Amino acid sequence: MSKKAIPFMLAAGLVLGSAPAVTFADPPAPNEQADHAFDNKVIKKISAERLYERVDLLSKQPREAGTQGEYEAVQYIKSEFESYGYETEVQPFTFQAWDGGTSSISVNGSDFAGDVHTFNGSVNGTVEAPLEYVGLAYAEDVPDTVSGKTALIERGEISFYEKIQNVIDKGAVGVIMFNREGTEGNDFGSTYEGQDIPAVAIDRESGLSLVNQLQSEEVTAEVSVQDAGPIDQTSYNVIATMKPHKNKDTGQIVTVGAHHDSVAGGPGANDDASGVSGVLELAKIMAKTPTDTELRFMTFGAEEKGLLGSYHYVSTLSDNEIDRISAHFQMDMIGSRDSGDLIMFTPDGEKNMVTDLGASAGARVAEVVEYGQLGRSDHVPFYMEGIPAALFIHAPLEPWYHSPQDTLDKISKEKLKETTEIVGAAVYRIARPDTPALENARVAPGPVHYEFDDRPL
Ligand code: BES
Ligand code: ZN
């Protein structure tokens, strides 16, 4: 599908796909002052304090898709949008999750003291067999003696799939896996098709005590998994729409998104309470700012389960709506004090309308913003429909990514504010109407210079 509906004032000064990179002329382009005046209408209103407070509220508990934590986040986001004056839709969708049922271990006839977690995909069943420790379960380290036994495995270095396959290949009948060094908890593990033995996870401390016990005596373990299986769960998207001024409607739509779900057990302050807060801040400001473009602010559920919310949202759009969406801005992980620079990522690594707008807004408002190639977030389903889309994220990653340590204290107010300013200025650049007071100024952006244009991706 072609995206040709670019208003003349936007098409005018942009460097598109094949054009060579151009540097800003010196002296500055005559429209620069006008652009700054437009930018200021949005960015002067952005509050670092508000951005930070919302991350605080959202990251008090995990928001895994389908859980109460997600539901509460959804209600909060909806009520915020409504308090800014938006018509707000909560869009439910179902996805398949895993119910671990009940799993247990007994050791030499006594109940095992620690918590037992069922691997995703484990078969149901009970096996009673001698236990044998096989370390990390590299193929070459798994002895033939594990045949007919339950394998005790340490997590790490190779995939769950490989570990389990390696012990199955040697005839193991059950798996107990303990967590890797430096970790707490036992919420991990997956088995895959054809790996039909009961598999459970325990924490590191319990695992090491079993390893110890095995050094002094024979251990018979009973591993039991009951009532495990797939279940349908519900996650939600939250969508707030602002219609353009009736007499100045270009027919365009611009969407601005983030994902509100987190991984299990992670408070997701940066991933992605930060992006949600950015979306809410821009929604708050744009609610009072006339535009000639329909704006849709949205937060997606179940991103961490495979971009499910954004795929669902895109599937509900009509062809006409898809044609009218001229840009999708995705804010994900925009506030970590421990990550690198802001980068705009597109799934194909090519620049587009969104990166053009982001690059020129960045140059005006803050800094040169690099672009590169990456999927891994909710810009992908928009891209798949031919909608220009980009992910605004900092790279390299912080060490807290997807961990229980992704907490408020790692958030930089400055990073939150600067990224929201860049996205806000870019969105307003496309959404603003011709403002009479600024009518005489040339409002087309100057040529966009991507400093990193020629670097290898
Ligand atoms: N915020 C991340 C995406 C990300 C992570 C981008 C690191 C760049 C660097 C996102 O929430 C995430 O974790 N996505 C999943 C993808 C998915 C299809 C489940 C991922 O990358 O594993
Ligand atoms: Zn994320």
* Ligand 1, atom 11: closest residue by C-alpha: 304
Whether residue 80 has pLDDT greater than 60 = yes
Q: What pLDDT digit, counting tens, does each position of 279-298 carry?
A: 999 999 999 999 999 999 99
User: Residues 212-227, buried b or exposed e (16+ Cβ, 10 A)?
Assistant: ebeeeeebebbbbbee
Q: Is 112 among the domain residues? A: yes
Q: Is 6 among the domain residues? A: no
- Residues with Cβ within 8 Å of 385's Cβ and at least 6 positions away in sequence, in order, are 1, 314, 317, 322
Residue range of the domain that includes 112? 101-227
Least confident of 31-35, 174-178, 256-260: 31-35
Q: Which of 193, 227, 261 is at the close of a domain?
A: 227
Ligand nearest to the backbone CA of 380 = 1
The predicted pLDDT at position 326 comes to 95
Residues with CB under 5 A from ligand 2 (ion): 271-272, 332
Distance in Å, CA 272 to ligand 2 centroid: 5
The predicted pLDDT at position 27 comes to 44
Please check whether residues 222 and 240 belong to one and the same domain: no
Distance in Å, CA 374 to ligand 1 centroid: 10
Torsion angle (degrees, nearest 10) of CA 431, 435, 441, 443: 10
Q: Which of 227, 251, 279 is at the close of a domain?
A: 227
Distance (Å, whole) CA 53 – CA 342? 22
Quote the mean pLDDT of the chain.
90
Q: Is 10 among the domain residues? A: no
The token pair that represents 364 in the structure block:
């005006």
Please check whether residues 266 and 161 belong to one and the same domain: no
Please check whether residues 305 and 424 belong to one and the same domain: yes
Distance in Å, CA 263 to ligand 2 centroid: 9
Q: Is 238 among the domain residues? A: yes
Q: Which amino acid is at 275?
A: G
Please check whether residues 125 and 112 belong to one and the same domain: yes
Distance in Å, CA 215 to ligand 2 centroid: 43
Distance in Å, CA 277 to ligand 2 centroid: 13
Q: What pLDDT digit, counting tens, does each position of 206-242 carry?
A: 999 999 999 999 999 999 999 999 999 999 999 999 9
CB-based pocket (< 6 A), ligand 1: 271-272, 303-304, 306-307, 332-333, 374, 376-377, 393, 397
Whether residue 312 has pLDDT greater than 50 = yes
Please check whether residues 86 and 203 belong to one and the same domain: no
Please check whether residues 237 and 364 belong to one and the same domain: yes
Among 371, 376, 391, 392, which is best to mutate for testing ligand 1, by the most ligand atoms less than 8 A from CB?
Answer: 376
Please check whether residues 397 and 250 belong to one and the same domain: yes
Contact 73, 59 (CB under 8 A): no
Whether residue 94 has pLDDT greater than 50 = yes
Whether residue 339 has pLDDT greater than 80 = yes
Per-residue pLDDT band for 184 (boundaries 50, 70, 90) equals: confident
The predicted pLDDT at position 451 comes to 55
The predicted pLDDT at position 18 comes to 33
Query: For the chain, give me the number of helices (H) and strands (E)?
Result: 12, 16
Please check whether residues 108 and 208 belong to one and the same domain: yes
Q: Is 25 among the domain residues? A: no
Strands 150-154 and 174-178: parallel
Q: The tokens 């380290």 sit on which residue?
A: 141
Please check whether residues 126 and 220 belong to one and the same domain: yes
Sign of CA dihedral 268, 273, 46, 257: positive
Sign of CA dihedral 31, 37, 41, 42: positive
Q: Which of 192, 227, 262 is at the close of a domain?
A: 227
CATH number of the domain within which 361 lies:
3.40.630.10
Distance in Å, CA 392 to ligand 2 centroid: 11
Please check whether residues 145 and 194 belong to one and the same domain: yes
Helix or strand or coil: residue 5?
Answer: coil
Q: Is 442 among the domain residues? A: no
Q: What pLDDT digit, counting tens, does each position of 116-125 carry?
A: 999 999 999 9
- Residue 209's Cβ-side half-sphere holds a number of Cα atoms within 13 Å equal to 8
What is the secondary structure of 332-371 as a DSSP string? -S--BTTS-EEEEEETTS---HHHHHHHHHHHHHT---EE
* Ligand 1, atom 7: closest residue by C-alpha: 397
The predicted pLDDT at position 321 comes to 98
* Ligand 1, atom 18: closest residue by C-alpha: 306
Q: Is 373 among the domain residues? A: yes
Whether residue 438 has pLDDT greater than 60 = no
The token pair that represents 302 in the structure block:
């179940």
Least confident of 117-126, 228-237, 377-386, 448-457: 448-457
Among 336, 342, 377, which is best to mutate for testing ligand 1, by the most ligand atoms less than 8 A from CB?
Answer: 377
Q: Is 260 among the domain residues? A: yes
Whether residue 443 has pLDDT greater than 50 = no
Domain count, the chain: 2
The predicted pLDDT at position 34 comes to 82
Please check whether residues 313 and 370 belong to one and the same domain: yes
Q: What pLDDT digit, counting tens, does each position of 41-51 carry?
A: 999 999 999 99
Please check whether residues 206 and 284 belong to one and the same domain: no
